[in-house]
Structure 1
Amino acid sequence: MVHVLTLCGSLRAASSNRSLLRAAELIAPAGVTFEHYEGIGELPHFNPDIEAGPLPAPVATLRARVDNADALLISCPEYARGIPGAFKNALDWLVGGHEFPGKPIALFNASPRASDAQSQLRLVLTTMSGRVVDEAAISVALIAKGMEAGAIAADPALRPTIETGLAALLSAVQSD
């Protein structure tokens, strides 16, 4: 059994990135469980002084969920040519913990135009000692299509790309 934790860089409920993560769950082979972390908007602003004492409950929950995951699947939009602030804040809370380093990571992208954020995200994650799996990095054009997870998973043009990304992530987990 492989446990994948998804992290969506968008706080929007109807985000294309969130739909892509949920489509991945629908496509995943048997023996793979998904947990969608939805608490990014609840995290306090990162402050190293707070990290020295008891962690705020939302931060402790995020770290525990990362620790329990075999792999991370991230889909993040690009805001003003960068990583959204709330998502970068979530990543900052993971820097000081032991849970994140070495974790296999797939980067899914719901907009091929979001290349600046993807480059920045890759730099941040590797700096944090995350193991970005290059073969698991995919990009699909979902922006402005309004597709929900089921439609994405059933789309004959999108499904093979998602399957390829998932297969590469699962292969990285199994090689550990």
Structure 2
Amino acid sequence: MKILAICGSLRARSSNLAVLQAATMLAPQSLDITLFDGLEALPHFNPDRDTEIPPSPVLKLREAVGRADGLLICSPEYARGVAGVMKNALDWLVSSFEFPDKPVAVINASQRSTHADAALRLTLETMSARLVEEASITLPLLGRNLDADGILQDSQVSSQLRTALEHMHRFIIGPAGKL
């Protein structure tokens, strides 16, 4: 099962990136989590450029989303809203056939980032994502400055993250045990 992890922060030492890096190490063997690394290369969304052949970074994003069985998104809150690079990426996916009905889990790395979390979920619902509520969690990382190894070593946080990934796996398999 392939999961595409998308970080809405471009910071090198982002707690959101650390969460996704830790997720790759905590995932059950049946989950193959790949970090998408092309957000910074995406041009600003412009409907006039969303043609039959969109810009190559957009194609890369859409192809990665299309290959994934589900998405794992972890994005910061900036000025009480969704990070611009994350919203830009989602805007490029609005008219794509790869995104609708895709299972998506939202991981929030700060217990104070409630506005962006709510706005991100609303955007995803509007785009016809299947939000996996059991896998969408808030981790208490604010002010802790943990990297991926620190998250792995924190038994409470790593347990929450592992459980969320297990929920994501079960959701995608579905009640019949099939993809």
> Does the pair score TM above 0.5?
yes
Output the CA distance in 1 between the equivalents of 2:153 and 2:144: 14
Gaps of 5+ in 1: none
TM-score by length of 2: 0.95
Q: Does 1:15 align with 2:14?
A: yes
Output the CA distance in 2 between the equivalents of 1:123 and 1:33: 27
Output the CA distance in 1 between the equivalents of 2:69 and 2:153: 26
Aligned length in residues: 175
Gaps of 5+ in 2: none
Aligned pairs for 1:2-151 within 5 A: 2-151=1-150
Instruction: State whether residues 94 and 127 of structure 2, in contact with CA within 8 Å, keep that contact through their aligned partners in structure 1.
Output: yes
Output the CA distance in 2 between the equivalents of 1:53 and 1:3: 26
Output the CA distance in 2 between the equivalents of 1:55 and 1:98: 13
Q: Give runs of ≥4 in structure 1 deviating > 6 Å.
A: none
Instruction: State whether residues 26 and 150 of structure 1, in contact with CA within 8 Å, keep that contact through their aligned partners in structure 2.
Output: no
Output the CA distance in 2 between the equivalents of 1:156 and 1:46: 40
Q: Post-superposition shift, 1:167?
A: 1.2
Q: Post-superposition shift, 1:153?
A: 1.6
The percentage of counterpart residues that share the same residue type is 45
TM-score by length of 1: 0.96
| Amino acid paired to 1:124 | T
CA deviations 1:39-80 (Å, max 9, x no partner) are 111101111111124210000000000000011000010000
Output the CA distance in 2 between the equivalents of 1:53 and 1:45: 17
Output the CA distance in 2 between the equivalents of 1:36 and 1:144: 24
Q: SS of 1:158's equivalent?
A: helix
Moved more, 44-53 or 61-70: 44-53
Output the CA distance in 2 between the equivalents of 1:13 and 1:130: 28
